[in-house]
Structure 1
């Protein structure tokens, strides 16, 4: 019997080829999209979970200050005074700019993007695979450095590099004492070079306030099994400041929570966007719902078209169980065919996920034991829901009504009206979401950064090189160089922060050490005060508006930035606010210090005149090769640097647009299916109207007017929903675009145009059809 039902189900699908291809094809595309979104969602939630003990690893932070950079001296206190902690380690992680690594003996060099300062406890907590080492302790000396296998191959090929000496940042001398495998690909921090933080020179971050300087680092804790995290966290809050530390609200963050935490925007770990991920999940659910609705409408329509067949089967003795079994088999067959195509399509599209999501998904990294049961559960629910319609219709079928010719289809019409309105609501909301996302991305890309970033080039410099002043002088002689400047730090790359030294109301200030051409080259507007003079070197600074505001000053007369040197720096100027970080964060206090010793620069900023940029950079590179032949010149345009801060949002925005388009297409397929059936069911009515003189335009209005009403209802529902969702998403930006009314109006107009365009094709066919064909047998 099951085999017979299967044959009949396949025959039924083949009988309605156009409708079957339309719905099954649409469901396949929709479910494939859901699979890809599900895989991406699972991948984002799996970050940092490849570490063996990730459930027991926590990071300490100050919740009150939203600060993870804490005093290095916390490490021994945590390790010695809290038995709940099995192992603790400091981890200072730097990324985002290239770091020079040179072996002076072999004359080989490379650049790395990720460097960690830590101690031997790191290797016990995170357990990387060891390739080779001098001793059981990977850091076996004060000047120890551990490198990854990739760096070792780049610099030494197949030779064992253990024992070789490296120069890092052009001034740190270190000996390779171990080689390890790379940390897991899906971790929030990478490590190409690891420095022994027991050496103070190898600690990568330092802050000074009120004349007191501390080394800053993150603190990771491996808690003992059975530790109640909430109780331990409460104990930390009560006792940690007994050891002369000033943490406002110490809290613990699990390793797996770092990536998607809203706090993550304040640290150096790679970051995910939980709100963007929620939008993805929402779109995936919508696509699944739209696909299921289309299929459900298809099932209902097929069942109503088979009432005559059902009546005949009941007349000749078919039982309720047999009718239900056939209907469920027919539903399940179509869905399973769709699911098979979906999985094949998803596998074919996996190589494109790097472009689609900005993150490549690989089959070998997927946890199929978790994923497959989840998707199979969804398939079972879809089959179950779609099977309820035929089961309901068969259970309500009355042989007497069939024989008397009675039909009650009101419930069918109401359900189709509701589902169509839902589909249109989803489409309008998604169109509005896409419009808002790209409006915001356009806003941040063209936001006034407070300096002129056009044709402004950033060249990374080797630290402490004696030829840097000569590089600036020779570059400045080039005819196309309007101006240039040396600095330690720059907008988008802050290497130093200091306290304001204002007692209890102290705040952190981003510090950039500059020469006298910085303000002119960056084209930062001075609102008050003057430019630097020769006699100001080592004595004067310029602050931005935000620093001025937080100091609470009314004028600059006699004001000083009291830090770093005895007596502080005289504040000689007030600059307009300029961005030093992305627009995810508010403008922060900044100070330009005219105080850098010769050679202690890490950036050369060059403003180019209009012209052939490639040739201009080539001439600058020639000067570089003469003065600094042992280093590679790395060039970045400031506008590219700041736009790169939103690359992930831009890629995800495009992905959301792609999947939103699929959702809109699925809505169109549902509308097309409905107008197809409406035209079919009302063919005799249309024939009668045409015989009685109705015009084609009148027939088109008759068939299309209901869809216009549904679009209007959907617009009323979708607009507030989309507004709330986008307002929530925009909260992740400190500077955001406005949610104008025209965005939602445009979404409604586009949805109306798409719906009418979809409907009109089939409506026109029905309206221009010869009425004789519909009425010949009447």
Structure 2
């Protein structure tokens, strides 16, 4: 009997080529998309899981007045805290200080020159994380400053197959570092990744700031802690809460331990992405399920005579269900196999196109396989159950006449499923349009300064102190309009501190002030407006310029100019106030900022050159030639500032591309389902259409008759999808300090698009039915 079922199932699927092909294509594409989405979710959740003692690893998060709406603060730490924790907290097995971000430095190995990013961190970092050493050794308590550890890939890049241990690398043509270890390449799913490590103890010499690592006010670092097994993080947090204030009474910053296992997903906000991707996977699954069920229902009702004959010949009550279940299972198995081929051949292209992360191995996890089997079985079960219940109650006489006594509940269920299908598709369209609108808003947002036609030149070696010589040379080129040197890049300024005092300061106010060291051409080059005073035209000792945010904190009544600001022995005077401008990505609001005029407190790392929009290539060539002439021992590098700002929103751009792709697939699947339902409706109303035409109904009247129900479904789906999509986008936009409005026209456009697509699909089939010869239509009865 089972063999007979199998033969019948194969025979029908081969005979019904159109329906089978549409089902296989829709299902295989949908399953491929679901597997890709599950791969993204699995990859995001796999972050940092390779660490052997992950449950004992914590990062330090610090909460202060600059943390804004963050309930716990950011992944940042004052530099003196890890050493204090090692000395004072017996529960702490290791505490490592890490510079926030990597330094780009020049490596010279023989005659070869490379530009590499170096992660400065305490040596015991390798005791906390599972970054296995392949050769050499890094003593956790080492005080040696001029040592270097390389990843396996970097060691191969620099030295080929030669053993790199003991080799010397000249950094920035000034410092010689000895390679002491080679570590295995850090997995891509690690929150902390680097290829070159150097001891953080070298930073005071590099920055020419002897006390750089001993302060309790600079949050330009990260700290990672390994607790002893069984130690209570709650007990550590009780003593950690006021530790910064204990050593820096002027500060109001508070630190606490935060589970490192939650750093990527929760603190870095990837959980929202995981939920969104998971929701899209569920939506696609619902779409392909409804599509498959509807199309199988149509296919089944086309065989009503066959099942009527089988019932007359003694087929049992469960025969139809078993037959339909086996046929559906065969299609699902073929579709599943085809989806794997689609993934295998398309994932490289999709990675480049949409930024989909993960690997093929991430798809074949036990959880995804179980989910895959359960989902396939559920689709097959429902697609066999609905038509079999209808046909089971259908009399053999009606079956032989190709009549279906479809119950109201089954008909209503099919209508609801189609409405849900288009509602989900409309929701995806709305979300896609809003991500496009938000991305456009971010790219065109008025940052408060002019970033167009500005080239960022990296200052290295002698040019960090001799940048004025470079500026003088560049001024000779008429296509160079202005230039300014600065210690930090405007895509993100993260040099900061607190503990400042001024007359009338409230006891509960202690802002974390961000600093940037510049020359007096900064405002001119970036077209930043001065609100009061001047930009370092007043040559007073200790003169500083502040932005409006800091001015409002110092003096809410608007009298911040000429105010004295004091910290320890440092006395400053506000001689100018600039308009606010965004100096961090737009997911953060504008904080207090202080400009320091060439005080030597920080290296001048960048020269920003404003160039004329004409003869760009020639101007860039002139800049390169001038830099190389003055700095021949260093590689020349430059970047356009507007390109760097665009890169800040690569994540949003990837999301927009992914949503666009999945929305397109959702619409295609919905159209296929709509097409299948329409075929069934036309088949059931063939006689009615013929009679109406004989009685004088024209083509438009017949098309209206067939189209109105589908238009109603789409309209109801739009009404239901709109508030749900609005809520989803409202929650997503909460990630941004600056966000676009939830414009009504986005919803209207999504509804018009969905309605237009539905009308095109329905009208084509309706027109074919309406133009058919009525005699041919009546012949079916």
Between the aligned partners of 1:768 and 1:206, the Cα distance in structure 2 is 89
Tell me the CA shift for residue 598 of structure 1. Answer: 11
**Residue 326 (structure 2) pairs with residue 329 (structure 1):** yes
**Residue 45 of structure 1: aligned partner:** 45
Structure 2 counterpart of 1:124, from 120, 124, 127: 127
Structure 2 counterpart of 1:506, from 501, 506, 510: 510
Tell me the CA shift for residue 284 of structure 1. Answer: 1.5
Comparing 589-598 with 37-46, greater Cα deviation is found at 589-598
**Residue 392 of structure 1: aligned partner:** 389
**Residue 533 of structure 1: aligned partner:** 537
Contact 2:151/2:184 (CA < 8 Å) preserved in 1?
A: yes
Give CA-to-partner distance per residue, 1:512-533, whole Å, 9 cap, x none.
1111111111111112212322
TM (norm. structure 2) is: 0.91
Give CA-to-partner distance per residue, 1:291-335, whole Å, 9 cap, x none.
100111123233333343333223222223444322221221122
**Residue 261 (structure 2) pairs with residue 256 (structure 1):** yes
**Residue 409 of structure 2: aligned partner:** 411
Tell me the CA shift for residue 420 of structure 1. Answer: 1.3
Comparing 137-146 with 677-686, greater Cα deviation is found at 137-146
Contact 1:488/1:495 (CA < 8 Å) preserved in 2?
A: no
Tell me the CA shift for residue 173 of structure 1. Answer: 5.0
Between the aligned partners of 2:112 and 2:134, the Cα distance in structure 1 is 21
Q: Secondary structure at the match of 2:740?
A: coil
Tell me the CA shift for residue 362 of structure 1. Answer: 2.5
**Residue 555 of structure 1: aligned partner:** 559
Structure 1 residues 615 and 143: alpha-carbon distance in aligned structure 2, compared to 1, 3 A threshold: same
Contact 1:210/1:499 (CA < 8 Å) preserved in 2?
A: no
Tell me the CA shift for residue 76 of structure 1. Answer: 3.6
**Residue 94 of structure 2: aligned partner:** 87
Between the aligned partners of 1:647 and 1:715, the Cα distance in structure 2 is 31
Give CA-to-partner distance per residue, 1:701-738, whole Å, 9 cap, x none.
11111111112211211111111100000000000000
Tell me the CA shift for residue 684 of structure 1. Answer: 1.6
**Residue 444 of structure 1: aligned partner:** 442
Q: Secondary structure at the match of 1:259?
A: helix
Structure 1 counterpart of 2:308, from 306, 311, 333: 311
Comparing 438-447 with 16-25, greater Cα deviation is found at 16-25
Comparing 666-675 with 292-301, greater Cα deviation is found at 292-301
Between the aligned partners of 1:180 and 1:297, the Cα distance in structure 2 is 56
**Residue 484 of structure 1: aligned partner:** 483
Contact 1:48/1:54 (CA < 8 Å) preserved in 2?
A: yes
Between the aligned partners of 1:317 and 1:550, the Cα distance in structure 2 is 88
**Residue 527 of structure 2: aligned partner:** 523
Q: Secondary structure at the match of 2:101?
A: strand
Between the aligned partners of 2:252 and 2:621, the Cα distance in structure 1 is 51
Aligned residues: 763
Tell me the CA shift for residue 376 of structure 1. Answer: 2.3
Between the aligned partners of 1:726 and 1:172, the Cα distance in structure 2 is 51
**Residue 675 (structure 2) pairs with residue 672 (structure 1):** yes
**Residue 67 (structure 2) pairs with residue 69 (structure 1):** no
Structure 2 counterpart of 1:320, from 299, 311, 317: 317
Structure 1 residues 599 and 498: alpha-carbon distance in aligned structure 2, compared to 1, 3 A threshold: closer
Between the aligned partners of 2:603 and 2:160, the Cα distance in structure 1 is 33
Contact 1:134/1:140 (CA < 8 Å) preserved in 2?
A: no
Between the aligned partners of 1:135 and 1:232, the Cα distance in structure 2 is 31
Q: Structure 2: where are the runs of 5+ without partners?
A: 68-72, 502-506
Structure 1 residues 487 and 199: alpha-carbon distance in aligned structure 2, compared to 1, 3 A threshold: closer
**Residue 641 of structure 2: aligned partner:** 638
Q: Secondary structure at the match of 2:649?
A: helix
Q: Secondary structure at the match of 1:535?
A: coil
Structure 1 residues 11 and 688: alpha-carbon distance in aligned structure 2, compared to 1, 3 A threshold: same
Structure 1 residues 181 and 411: alpha-carbon distance in aligned structure 2, compared to 1, 3 A threshold: same
Tell me the CA shift for residue 359 of structure 1. Answer: 4.4
Contact 2:219/2:496 (CA < 8 Å) preserved in 1?
A: no
Give CA-to-partner distance per residue, 1:371-395, whole Å, 9 cap, x none.
3233223223323333332453465
Between the aligned partners of 1:23 and 1:45, the Cα distance in structure 2 is 32
Comparing 766-775 with 592-601, greater Cα deviation is found at 592-601
RMSD: 3.0
Tell me the CA shift for residue 175 of structure 1. Answer: 2.9
Between the aligned partners of 1:719 and 1:727, the Cα distance in structure 2 is 12
Q: Secondary structure at the match of 1:571?
A: strand
**Residue 158 of structure 1: aligned partner:** 161
Comparing 747-756 with 188-197, greater Cα deviation is found at 188-197
Between the aligned partners of 2:727 and 2:780, the Cα distance in structure 1 is 55
Contact 2:390/2:410 (CA < 8 Å) preserved in 1?
A: no
Between the aligned partners of 2:50 and 2:454, the Cα distance in structure 1 is 41
Tell me the CA shift for residue 68 of structure 1. Answer: 2.9
**Residue 589 of structure 1: aligned partner:** 592
Between the aligned partners of 2:261 and 2:138, the Cα distance in structure 1 is 31
Contact 2:93/2:227 (CA < 8 Å) preserved in 1?
A: yes
Contact 1:498/1:563 (CA < 8 Å) preserved in 2?
A: no
Give CA-to-partner distance per residue, 1:53-83, whole Å, 9 cap, x none.
2233221323565033223333244335545
**Residue 217 of structure 1: aligned partner:** 221
Structure 1 residues 256 and 212: alpha-carbon distance in aligned structure 2, compared to 1, 3 A threshold: closer
TM (norm. structure 1) is: 0.91
**Residue 115 (structure 2) pairs with residue 111 (structure 1):** yes
**Residue 751 (structure 2) pairs with residue 751 (structure 1):** no
Give CA-to-partner distance per residue, 1:19-57, whole Å, 9 cap, x none.
222222111111111111111111111111222222332
**Residue 623 of structure 1: aligned partner:** 626
Tell me the CA shift for residue 255 of structure 1. Answer: 2.3
**Residue 268 of structure 1: aligned partner:** none
Structure 2 counterpart of 1:201, from 178, 200, 204: 204
